[in-house]
């Protein structure tokens, strides 16, 4: 089934306890579409960049099967820039700088050939823009998944709440779930979010895995204990890309299949953190991904004797 992703395509500058990068390619939609490319061939992007964005990276997306008809390149303008610095725990980070540039006037145009997409991934960007995308789809997709961040919870809370009424799944991290609901207990926070609209809530807990709340059921997925975590940037988006990519591939949105999708998302995210930026998710084989998924199965398999 076809997938449409909207979100940032960006330049990032990153600093972790292990090193620093100059401008590298980043952006939520970049990570999402690359990650999803390992699952679905019908992988469509709506985003905006300036004419400083390298053609070689667009070619990389295309070589992964991403349809870039909806990638607007604005002449004379600069690509969105974000820079972040991680704390020693690698789970928390500070935004050092944001230059909105082209994102300031992002007016997402959905090409006609994307209108029938069944799976819609609203990657990180302003909630008002994400909502515009939902409203511009002539037919409502079968599943709408939303990712957001602390910034929007803080500065665009009303827009975000309006959008939540129109989405099926919200993916966010534990800190954001607490910020959005004012509740420390994640089970209660998830219930509060479900009352805001989405039937399904996924709360990511970094190196501690993820919780999937679907109607009155809960699934706990581990994160793979890794010897080296180099750079968590994009892990959340890579998770989202694996999650929705698996659902689009199988066209099954049952709870059981969402559990598998959470594991595929977690496996993809575990690759992403092994190198800076998107480097590690550029050249994965199907076999590597399946082996990683098998590690997740082994990691949490146990039997009980009564």
Which residue, 28 or 203, is less far from ligand AMP as judged by CB?
28
Structure tokens belonging to residue 244: 């929705």
Stretch binding ligand AMP (CB under 6 A), from 7-15, 203-211, 219-227, 252-260: 7-15
Phi first, then psi: give them for residue 26, nearest 5 degrees. Answer: -145, -150
- For residue 174, state whether it binds ligand AMP (rule: CB under 6 A): no
x/- contact string, 242-281, with ligand AMP (CB under 6 A)? ----------------------------------------
Enumerate long-range contacts of 60-68, CB under 8 Å, 24 or more apart. Answer: 60/282, 61/30, 61/33, 61/34, 64/33, 64/34, 64/37, 65/37, 65/41, 66/33, 66/34, 66/37, 67/42, 67/43, 67/113, 67/114
Are the C-beta atoms of residues 157 and 181 closer than 8 Å to each other? no
Please select the residue that binds ligand AMP; options are 125, 130, 181, 270, rule is CB under 6 A. Answer: 125
Of 262, 275, 292, 263, nearest to 232 by C-alpha is 275
Please select the residue that binds ligand AMP; options are 4, 6, 28, 223, rule is CB under 6 A. Answer: 28
Which residue, 62 or 151, is less far from ligand AMP as judged by CB?
151
Which residue, 40 or 125, is less far from ligand AMP as judged by CB?
125
- Rounded to whole angstroms, the Cα distance separating 66 from 9 reads 13
CB of 224 to ligand AMP, least distance (A): 17
x/- contact string, 94-113, with ligand AMP (CB under 6 A)? ----x---------------
Which residue, 150 or 250, is less far from ligand AMP as judged by CB?
150
Report CA dihedral (222, 61, 73, 6) to the nearest 10 degrees.
Answer: -30
Could you say which residues in the range 186-245 bind ligand AMP, by CB under 6 A? 233-237
- For residue 42, state whether it binds ligand AMP (rule: CB under 6 A): no
Give the binding site for ligand AMP (CB under 6 A).
Answer: 8, 10, 12, 26-28, 82, 98, 124-125, 151, 233-237
């Amino acid at each position: 089934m076809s997938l449409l992703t909207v979100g940032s395509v960006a330049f990032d500058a990153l600093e972790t306890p292990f090193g620093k990068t100059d401008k590298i390619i980043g952006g939520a939609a970049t990570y999402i579409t690359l990650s999803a490319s390992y699952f679905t061939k019908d992988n469509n992007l709506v985003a905006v960049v300036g004419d400083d964005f390298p053609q070689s990276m667009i070619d990389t997306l295309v070589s992964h099967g991403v349809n870039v008809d909806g990638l607007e390149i604005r002449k004379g303008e600069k690509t969105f820039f974000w820079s972040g610095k991680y704390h020693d725990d690698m789970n928390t980070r500070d935004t050092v700088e944001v230059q909105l540039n082209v994102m300031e006037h992002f007016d997402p145009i959905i090409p006609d050939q994307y209108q029938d997409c069944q799976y819609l991934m609203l990657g990180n960007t302003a909630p008002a823009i994400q909502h515009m995308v939902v409203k511009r789809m002539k037919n409502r997709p079968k599943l709408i998944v939303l990712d957001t961040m602390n910034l929007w919870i803080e500065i665009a809370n009303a827009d975000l709440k309006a959008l939540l009424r129109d989405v099926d799944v919200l993916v966010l991290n534990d800190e954001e779930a607490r910020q959005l609901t004012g509740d420390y207990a994640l089970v209660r926070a998830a219930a509060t979010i479900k009352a805001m609209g989405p039937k399904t809530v996924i709360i990511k807990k970094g190196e501690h895995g993820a919780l999937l709340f679907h109607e009155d059921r809960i699934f706990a997925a581990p994160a793979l204990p890794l010897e080296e975590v180099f750079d968590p940037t994009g892990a959340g988006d890579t998770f989202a890309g694996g999650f929705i990519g698996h659902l689009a591939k199988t066209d099954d949105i049952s709870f059981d299949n969402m559990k598998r999708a959470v594991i595929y998302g977690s496996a993809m995210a575990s690759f992403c953190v092994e190198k800076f930026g998107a480097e590690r998710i550029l050249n994965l084989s199907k076999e590597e991904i399946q082996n990683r998924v098998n590690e997740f199965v082994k990691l949490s398999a146990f039997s009980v004797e009564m």
